[in-house]
């Protein structure tokens, strides 16, 4: 693997360049020092990179809204062509939960809060542990595995599949659909590639639509049944098909699996680089597993950044932000802000307030699935760590490449070897 080139000045930063995609952290450091609110000359995005300024944006949802302009108002011709595909062959997805503002956001989130309340997560935890330990059992005797496909992908996908009442034999198809959705989210596709992603999502819609119809006539105990049938009081109705299709991809199967998958992948990669951390963790998991998880979330930030829109003229960090401007808040940069974290690029299992990071956002849009993701990470790592004495990357088998994606940090593969206990 060629060593990525690191920018030395803000004008050398290319957020969509291959070098930045592989190693964004030096570029974030440059932006934090030179231009904490930096307007990308290619896209016009105002990129926000410091911890303090991210909090300012996220805690002011009236000035910096999630929704932005209505669909197709000012949309490009390409965006209109994608919308036409949905309308002609499937269902045009409504705004997702994360792209809504109050009062709609508050009304819809209340239903998800009920679904992800602590009591329900506690009831689900034995299944999470059982799934994690079963996956480890499937490869532990081999002394090696490709970690992403063996554990990082199937654990959270199986858990959210159970919550949604999906057939286990269909999870592979569902994963192919979510991969296509994630690639489109990444904002780095050609028009032909984006068309493929939309067509894959439409294929998923035609898979889920009969399930919605069945659950309307015969509700069951699944989360999906609740989403289909529960009336949202402020709306005076349940979600319609367009709203349900948006939630299926964005806030259930993608939102319910990608963060955990990417953190599980990054965590073992980081651990292989730091045998001293493994020694400390192995010596006292009860003390150090939770801070290890939080440091993984902070250091590798599975969600690198998301978007906001200026609802009015504003000033941020001394920079004028005109009404209608798009902002990109880079959680991954805030999580390595030297003003907030001592030795921010290092994994420190004794760090004070280990959960004080931006990985799950902040404010009204704080990730509602964060508690479940943390339990999945706990059991995913613990089930593996309980069975091994040491772990290492397999020599000559890894290039440590990441999927090109503007929003997410996705390790393609991780070949590891280990000595089982």
Instruction: Give me the domains of the chain, ranges plus CATH numbers.
Output: 10-65+76-420 (1.10.630.10)
Q: What is the pLDDT of residues 344-384, one digit of tens each?
A: 999 999 999 999 999 999 999 999 889 999 999 999 999 99
Q: What are the residue ranges of helices labelled H in 218-364?
A: 223-229, 241-247, 258-273, 275-283, 285-300, 331-334
- Classify strands 415-420 and 144-146 as parallel, antiparallel or unpaired: antiparallel
For residue 84, the SS3 value is helix
Instruction: For residue 113, give the H/E element and its range.
Output: helix 104-115
Instruction: Say how far apart CA 6 and CA 21 lie, in whole Å.
Output: 11
pTM for the full model?
Answer: 0.94
| Mean pLDDT in residue range 27-44 | 96
CA distances from 142 to 139, 331, 417, 419 (A): 6, 37, 9, 10
More confident residue, 35 or 8: 35
Confidence of residue 72 (pLDDT cuts 50, 70, 90): very low
Count other Cβ atoms within 10 Å, centred on residue 134: 13
pLDDT at position 111: 84
The residue ranges of DSSP E strands in 60-126, in sequence order, are: 64-65
More confident residue, 235 or 76: 235
| Mean pLDDT in residue range 105-116 | 86
What are φ and ψ of residue 4, in 5° steps?
Answer: -60, 145
| pLDDT higher than 90, residue 181 | yes
pLDDT at position 75: 66
pLDDT at position 71: 39
- Give the whole-number percent of the chain exceeding pLDDT 90: 87
| pLDDT higher than 80, residue 114 | no
Instruction: Say how far apart CA 269 and CA 381 lie, in whole Å.
Output: 12
Instruction: Say how far apart CA 210 and CA 259 lie, in whole Å.
Output: 28
Angle of helix 171-185 relative to helix 191-217, nearest 10 degrees, comes to: 130
Mean pLDDT of the chain: 94
Task: Report the Cα 363 to chain-centroid distance in Å.
Answer: 17
Beta bridge partners of 37: 48
Confidence of residue 112 (pLDDT cuts 50, 70, 90): confident
pLDDT at position 121: 84
- The two tokens of residue 94 are 């409504």
pLDDT at position 22: 93
Instruction: For residue 390, give the H/E element and its range.
Output: strand 388-393
Instruction: Say how far apart CA 275 and CA 16 lie, in whole Å.
Output: 33
Confidence of residue 58 (pLDDT cuts 50, 70, 90): very high
| pLDDT higher than 90, residue 211 | yes
Residue 72: which of 86, 60, 51, 56 has the closest Cα? 86
- The two tokens of residue 229 are 């049938």
pLDDT at position 2: 63
Encode 262-278: b = buried (16+ Cβ within 10 Å), e = exposed.
Answer: bbbbbbbbbbbeeeebb
Q: What are the residue ranges of helices labelled H in 186-240?
A: 191-217, 223-229
pLDDT at position 68: 60
Within 13 Å of residue 170, how many CA atoms lie on the same side as its CB? 14
| Mean pLDDT in residue range 52-79 | 82
Residue 175: which of 410, 416, 414 has the closest Cα? 410
| Mean pLDDT in residue range 184-208 | 96
Which of 76-80, 117-121, 296-300, 417-421 shows the lowest per-residue confidence on average (mean pLDDT)?
Answer: 117-121
Instruction: Say how far apart CA 294 and CA 160 lie, in whole Å.
Output: 21
pLDDT at position 117: 79
Sequence-distant (6+) residues with CB within 8 A of 183 are 189, 193, 197, 403, 405
Judge whether 234 and 243 are in contact, CB under 8 Å: no
pLDDT at position 4: 76
- Give the whole-number percent of the chain exceeding pLDDT 70: 98
Sign of the Cα torsion 338, 340, 345, 346 reads positive
pLDDT at position 3: 74
pLDDT at position 76: 87
| Mean pLDDT in residue range 240-255 | 93
Confidence of residue 70 (pLDDT cuts 50, 70, 90): very low
Instruction: For residue 307, give the H/E element and its range.
Output: strand 306-310
Q: What is the pLDDT of residues 318-353, one digit of tens each?
A: 999 999 999 999 999 999 999 999 999 999 999 999
| pLDDT higher than 80, residue 1 | no
């Amino acid at each position: 693997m060629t060593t990525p080139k690191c920018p030395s000045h803000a004008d050398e930063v290319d957020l969509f360049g291959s070098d930045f995609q592989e190693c964004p952290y030096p570029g974030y450091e440059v932006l934090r020092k030179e231009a904490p609110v930096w307007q990308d000359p290619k896209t016009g995005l105002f990129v926000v990179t410091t911890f303090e300024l991210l909090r300012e944006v996220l805690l002011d949802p009236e000035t910096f809204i999630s929704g932005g302009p209505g669909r197709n108002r000012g949309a490009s011709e390409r965006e209109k062509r994608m919308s036409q595909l949905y309308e002609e062959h499937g269902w045009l997805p409504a705004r997702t939960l994360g792209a809504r503002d109050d009062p709609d956001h508050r009304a819809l989130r209340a239903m998800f809060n009920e679904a992800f309340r602590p009591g329900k997560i506690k009831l689900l935890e034995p299944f999470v542990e059982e799934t994690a330990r079963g996956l480890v059992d499937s490869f532990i005797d081999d002394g090696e595995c490709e970690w992403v496909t063996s554990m990082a992908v199937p654990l959270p996908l199986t858990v959210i599949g159970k919550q949604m009442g999906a057939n286990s034999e269909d999870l592979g198809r569902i994963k192919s659909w979510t991969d296509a959705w994630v690639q489109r989210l990444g904002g780095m596709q050609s028009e032909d590639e984006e068309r493929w992603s939309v067509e894959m999502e439409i294929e998923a819609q035609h898979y889920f639509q009969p399930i919605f119809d069945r659950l309307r006539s015969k509700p069951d105990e699944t989360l999906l049944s609740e989403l289909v049938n529960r009336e949202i009081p402020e709306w005076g109705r349940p979600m319609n098909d367009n709203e349900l299709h948006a939630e299926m991809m964005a806030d259930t199967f993608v939102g319910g699996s990608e963060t955990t998958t990417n953190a599980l992948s990054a965590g073992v990669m980081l651990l292989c680089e730091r045998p001293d951390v493994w020694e400390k963790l192995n010596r006292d998991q009860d003390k150090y597993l939770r801070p290890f998880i939080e440091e993984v979330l902070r250091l590798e930030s599975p969600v690198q950044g998301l978007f906001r829109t200026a609802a009015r003229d504003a000033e941020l960090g001394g920079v004028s932000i005109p009404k209608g401007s798009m902002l990109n808040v880079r959680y991954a940069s805030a999580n390595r802000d030297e003003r907030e974290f001592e030795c921010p690029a290092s994994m420190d299992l004794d760090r004070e307030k280990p959960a004080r990071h931006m990985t799950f956002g902040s404010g009204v849009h704080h990730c509602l699935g964060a508690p479940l993701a943390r339990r999945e990470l706990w059991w995913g790592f613990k089930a593996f760590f309980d069975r091994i004495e040491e772990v290492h990357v397999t020599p000559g088998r890894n290039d440590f490449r990441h999927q090109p994606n503007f929003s997410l940090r996705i390790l393609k593969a991780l070949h590891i070897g280990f000595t089982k206990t």
